[in-house]
Amino acid sequence: MFRALPEEIHDLGRRFEAAGFELALVGGPVRDAVLGRSSADLDFTTSARPDETEAILRTWTRDGGIWDMGRDFGTLGGVRNGVKVEITTYRTESYDPTSRKPQVAYGDTLEGDLSRRDFTVNAMAVRLPSLELVDPFDGLADLSRTVLRTPVGPEQSFTDDPLRMMRAVRFVSQLGFRIEDATADAIESLAERITIVSAERVREELVKLMLGAHPRGGLELLVELGLSAHVLPELPALSLEIDEHHHHKDVYQHTLTVLDQAIDLESPAGSGGPCEAPDLVLRLSALFHDIGKPATRRYEPGGAVTFRFHETVGAKMTAKRMKAMTFDKDTTKKVARLVELHLRFHGYAEAPWSDSAVRRYVTDAGELLQHLHRLTRADVTTRNRRKARGLARAYDELEARIDHLAEQEEIGRIRPDLDGNRIMEILGIGPGREVGDAYKHLLELRMEHGPLGEDRASEELKAWWEARDQG
């Protein structure tokens, strides 16, 4: 399987060997090759020191395509014919217990370097150019058993680098593996140490988890092992105590089911369709859609349980949590908006909307309409088949009406019948707040009545202006 590596890689191995140094492909690329998966990353480790690595890379790249931003950690990169590599000198590391940043010291052996890797399945290497597999910690056996286990004692491994605990649950999502019992126990006992890791690094792992093939499994372990209490406390908080009459469903399990169903509604990867898999915005909105429920739960007379305005509260909580985890503003805004809108459809299910209400639904969703379609459908987890079929039919009808109105009116780009220039011309005014107020009034009329045409819009504008002056 490793003979299929690009010829540029075999050539690189021969150059290191000729210079008297060892070179080995290491970590994820080896694991993925054994699993029959492709890997975009080509990570290597070597006995050469950075200056020696650089000298060899310069002969290999030919055009000087080298980068050395990681030199302080012993890492240099290069590219040849589109083949990118990163090469790190053998390392041994010690950690300050209060910091995740390693104190780097160069090592002397490949086996010693592999011992500091996160999990045995990532602690395998292939020597170049011989293609000899090096597996001192039985990573190959763990791969066949789909087990995550640390090369050294898990307490030492997670104390040294707490982010490895997040990587463990991330690999559960990405690879469908299970965490070996002793390793899971160590995560549970050391979970609080994740708080010394930067929010940015934790977010990166959570995103990879959410984009994996099995995010539900990763999230369940995030909660079970106590990590979520420190990085995403809103998730375990969804496990509300169920009242004796079961007047509301298990919100935590409901959320995980909604996530599963939302993923099922993604367009296939590479299809170019809406919400193409894996869609981070859709998945995060499913995860966060009900986080406002614990804060809004109320017991009404007669024993009923309500969660009034949980979508509004949840949108604010979503934005706050995503900001704390350093998500970018655009993703945060989109996810929070979907959380805010996810209940809007239920009014339609109870009584069909007017055309103006349908236009508002589309306009409020904006570019997120396809995401809202999928989130709304995924949010149906009732076991009452009749009720589920009724909701599905109602949403089918709503989507059909949206499509019909879109054909008639280009509903996704609704604008008033008059633009700002015409408003100023008709009213004889210059730029200012009044133009904006007039624009909003005409937009409301457009939403309510559909296209008015320029003549009627002009009459409505003048009538509004006169009534405004009289007021």
Average pLDDT, the chain: 90
Cβ atoms of residues 443 and 415 within 8 Å: yes
* Predicted confidence (pLDDT) at residue 294 exceeds the cutoff of 80: yes
State the average pLDDT over residues 370-380: 94
Q: CATH number of the domain at 1-139, please?
A: 3.30.460.10
pLDDT, one tens digit per residue, over 105-125 is: 788 899 999 999 999 999 999
State the average pLDDT over residues 254-277: 94
* Range in 286-300, 386-400, 406-420 with the lowest mean pLDDT: 406-420
What's the CA gap between 201 and 205, in Å, rounded? 7
Name the residue among 287, 315, 291, 297 with its Cα closest to residue 248: 297
Report the percent of the chain where pLDDT is more than 90: 61
Query: Candidates 1.10.3210, 1.10.3470, 1.20.1740, 1.20.120; correct CATH number of 236-413?
Result: 1.10.3210
State the average pLDDT over residues 399-413: 73
* Predicted confidence (pLDDT) at residue 430 exceeds the cutoff of 60: yes
Do β-strands 43-46 and 23-26 pair in parallel, antiparallel, or remain unpaired? Answer: antiparallel
- Most confident option among 223-237, 375-389, 396-410: 223-237
What does the H/E/C string look like for 307-332? Answer: CCCHHHHHHHHHHHHHHHCCCCHHHH
Gyration radius from the chain CA atoms = 29
The pLDDT assigned to 243 comes to 45
The pLDDT assigned to 23 comes to 98
pLDDT, one tens digit per residue, over 126-170 is: 999 999 999 999 999 999 999 999 999 999 999 989 999 999 999
Task: For 12-64, give the DSSP string.
Answer: HHHHHHHTT--EEEESHHHHHHHHT---S--EEEESS-HHHHHHHHHHHHSS-
pLDDT, one tens digit per residue, over 332-368 is: 999 999 999 999 988 777 777 888 888 888 889 989 9
State the average pLDDT over residues 288-312: 90
Return all residues near 322 (Cβ < 8 A) that are at least 6 apart.
284, 331, 332, 335, 336
Partners of 147 in the β-ladder: 178
The model's confidence at residue 1, banded by pLDDT at 50, 70 and 90, is low
Residue 298, classed as helix, strand or coil, is: strand
* Predicted confidence (pLDDT) at residue 257 exceeds the cutoff of 70: yes
* Predicted confidence (pLDDT) at residue 242 exceeds the cutoff of 60: no
The pLDDT assigned to 286 comes to 98
* Predicted confidence (pLDDT) at residue 445 exceeds the cutoff of 80: yes
Rounded to 5°, angle at Cα 143 from 139 and 146: 130
pLDDT, one tens digit per residue, over 64-114 is: 689 988 898 899 999 998 899 999 999 875 555 665 565 667 888 999 999
Residue range(s) occupied by CATH 3.30.460.10 in the chain: 1-139
Cβ atoms of residues 448 and 356 within 8 Å: yes
* Range in 181-190, 192-201, 428-437 with the lowest mean pLDDT: 428-437
Higher pLDDT, 462 or 134: 134
The pLDDT assigned to 320 comes to 98
* Predicted confidence (pLDDT) at residue 471 exceeds the cutoff of 60: no
Q: Which architecture characterizes domain 146-232 according to CATH?
A: Orthogonal Bundle (1.10)
The pLDDT assigned to 65 comes to 82
CA 450 vs. chain centroid, Å, equals 38
Higher pLDDT, 459 or 412: 459
The pLDDT assigned to 363 comes to 87
Residue range(s) occupied by CATH 1.10.110.30 in the chain: 146-232
* Predicted confidence (pLDDT) at residue 208 exceeds the cutoff of 60: yes
The pLDDT assigned to 254 comes to 93
The model's confidence at residue 232, banded by pLDDT at 50, 70 and 90, is very high
The pLDDT assigned to 249 comes to 65
The pLDDT assigned to 404 comes to 81
